[in-house]
Amino acid sequence: MASSLTEIAGFLEKGSFVFDLKEEDNSIITLSPMNNYIDQGGDYILPIVILLQEDGRFIRISAPNCYAYKNAETGPELFQIILVLSFHCKMLQFECDRMEETLSAVVEFPLEDSPLTEKQLLRCINSMSQMVDRFDPWIRLVLSNGRSLSGREIKLRDQTEQVPSVMSFLKAIKGEGFGLEKEQESDEEWI
């Protein structure tokens, strides 16, 4: 069943979101506060675009151009991290625009046989925001030097922390761990 921008705007109002409805683009732009992620303007905020397509029968929720990668050397390490995230995280995808050299975080799905609910919409927005924020330090580290994640220092808002190994990164994706019998000897065995 099709959804409408008016319906989505109502859900956002109930959730106390500030938003801008763009009827000419069939989209809504909102912002999500962040703890680690910093946008291109230097603010701890994630811009989110909600777009209805196919006469309201398909929804796309995205954080467009949330990362820029200008250095071709970062490509393999960056795409390795993005691939791991895409494999282990529910809903979240990353899309690469090779012309603009940017990555966008995306959640999208059809609304064929039931209308969009407030709970669905808020889960999508909140999950995407939390995952981008949670894994931002790893993504930024790879973007900054194109090297392995093990043993590097990063800045998390007001503190400097040691970046965990790729194994720790993978465990962070699933929370407390994977239920693995034992840890591997090296990170390379997992990637």
The mean per-residue pLDDT over the stretch 35-64 comes to 94
Length of the chain: 191
* Predicted local distance difference test score (pLDDT) of residue 85: 78
Question: What's the pLDDT at 96?
Answer: 86
Confidence of residue 158 (pLDDT cuts 50, 70, 90): very low
pLDDT at residue 167, rounded to an integer: 53
Give the pLDDT of residue 106: 95
Above pLDDT 90, what percent of the chain? Answer: 42
| Whole-angstrom distance, CA of residue 156 vs CA of residue 162 | 10
Decide if pLDDT at 189 tops 50.
Answer: no
Predicted confidence (pLDDT) at residue 160 exceeds the cutoff of 60? no
Whole-number Å distance between alpha carbons of 173 and 118? 26
Quote the CA–CA distance of 141 and 108 in Å, as a whole number.
Answer: 27
| Calpha distance 123→178 (Å, rounded) | 23
78, 143 Cβ separation under 8 angstroms? yes
Listed as own residue / partner, the contacts of 39-46 with beta carbons closer than 8 Å and 24 or more positions apart are 39/66, 40/65, 40/68, 44/157, 46/129, 46/132, 46/133
**If you average pLDDT over residues 10-32, what whole number do you get?**
94
What is the rounded average pLDDT for all residues in the chain? 78
Least confident of 7-16, 109-118, 150-159, 182-191: 182-191
In sequence order, what are the residues at sequence separation of 6 or more whose Cβ sits closer than 8 angstroms to the Cβ of residue 9? Answer: 19, 21, 28
Q: Which two tokens stand for residue 12?
A: 């956002």
- Separation CA 48–CA 31 (nearest Å): 6
Lowest mean pLDDT among 32-36, 46-50, 81-85, 149-153: 149-153
- Residue 7 CB: number of other CB atoms within 10 A? 16
C-alpha separations of 130 from 21, 34, 137, 168 in Å: 23, 8, 13, 18
The pLDDT, as a whole number, for residue 115 is: 85
**What confidence tens digit (pLDDT) does each residue in 72-103 have?**
666 777 787 788 777 777 888 999 888 888 88
Report yes or no on whether pTM surpasses 0.85: no
Domains parsed from the chain with CATH numbers: 5-189 (3.30.1460.10)
Tell me how far CA of residue 103 lies from CA of 75, 89, 107, 126, 170, in angstroms. 11, 16, 13, 19, 20
Which is more confidently placed, 62 or 2? Answer: 62
Answer for the pair 125, 32: CB distance below 8 angstroms, yes or no. yes
